[in-house]
Structure 1
Amino acid sequence: MSTWTFSYITPLSFQGKLYMARMSFDPKENSDIFQVDPLPPPPPQGHHHVDVVGSAGSSSLTLPPPKLIATIPTDKLTRPIHLVECNSQILVTGYTDRSWLHMIIHRLADLITLEKPIQVTSIGDKALFLNNVRSMSVSSNGALPTVVGNTIVQASLANGSLTEYNLSTDAWSRPMDGCILRGPVFGPCCLIYHIYTCCIREYWNKGQLCNRNKPCNWRVKGKWRTGV
Structure 2
Amino acid sequence: MEPNRYGELNQRGKLMSFCASITVSSTGAITVMLALRLVHRVAHATTGDQRWTLSAWNLKPLIKPVSFQGKLYALQPILRMRMVKIYKINPPCPNANEGPSHLPLPEKIAECPMEKISRMLNFVECGSELLVVAYSDASCSRLVVFRFADLVRGKMEPVPSIGDNALFVNERCLCVSVSPSKGSNSLASIAPNSIICWHRLPGDPGFVGLSRFEQYDLGTGIWTPASDGDICQRPPPSPHTLIHHIFACCDRKYW
Q: TM-score range by the shorter chain?
A: 0.7 to 0.9
Q: Cα offset for 1:38? A: 1.4
- Report if aligned partners of 1:10, 1:134 keep a CA contact under 8 Å in 2: no
Count of paired positions:
188
Matches within 5 A, 1:100-111: 100-111=140-151
- What's the CA shift string for 1:137-194, capped at 9, x where partnerless? 1111335421421110011234221110011111100021333232364333322111
Q: Distance in 2 between matches of 1:98 and 1:182?
A: 24
Residue 220 of structure 1: aligned partner? none
Aligned residue among 140, 153, 167 for 2:196: 153
The superposition leaves residues 105-164 of structure 1 with CA deviations (integer Å, 9 ceiling, x where unpaired) of 1111111113x4322011111111111x21121111335421421110011234221110
- Structure number having the greater helix percentage: 2
What's 2:228 paired with?
177
What are the equivalent positions in structure 2 for 1:191-210 lying under 5 Å apart? 191-201=242-252, 203-204=254-255
Contact 1:23–1:80, Cα closer than 8 Å, also in 2: no
Q: Which amino acid aligns with 1:34?
A: Y
Q: 1:137 corresponds to which residue? A: 175
What is the DSSP-based 3-state SS (H/G/I as helix, E as strand, rest coil) of the residue aligned with 1:11? strand
Report if aligned partners of 2:197, 2:214 keep a CA contact under 8 Å in 1: yes
1:35 paired residue number: 88
Question: Counterparts of 1:102 and 1:122 in 2: how far apart (Å)?
Answer: 14
Question: 2:135 matched to 1:95?
Answer: yes
Q: Distance in 2 between matches of 1:27 and 1:82?
A: 21
**Runs of 4+ with deviation above 4 angstroms:** none
User: Which 5+ residue runs of structure 2 have no aligned equivalent?
Assistant: 1-52, 202-209
* TM superposition shift of 1:37: 0.8
Residue 13 of structure 1 is matched in structure 2 by: 67
Q: Which amino acid aligns with 1:126?
A: N
The amino acid of 1:139's aligned partner reads S
- Which runs of 5 or more residues in structure 1 are unaligned? 44-48, 50-56, 205-228
Distance 2:114 2:124 in 1: 19
Q: Distance in 2 between matches of 1:95 and 1:202?
A: 24
| Alpha carbons 1:152, 1:166 under 8 Å: kept | yes
- More RCO (CA 8 Å, sep 6+): 1
Alpha-carbon shift at residue 85 of structure 1 (Å): 0.9
Given candidates 31, 53, 62, the residue that maps to 2:102 is 62
Mapped contact 1:154–1:162 kept (Cα < 8 A): yes
C-alpha distance in 2 between matches for 1:184 and 1:14: 30
Amino acid at match of 1:8: L
Identity of aligned residues (%): 36
What is the identity, as a one-letter code, of the residue corresponding to 1:112? V
Indicate the RMSD between aligned Cα atoms, in angstroms. Answer: 2.2
Which of 149, 160, 164 aligns to 1:121? It is 160
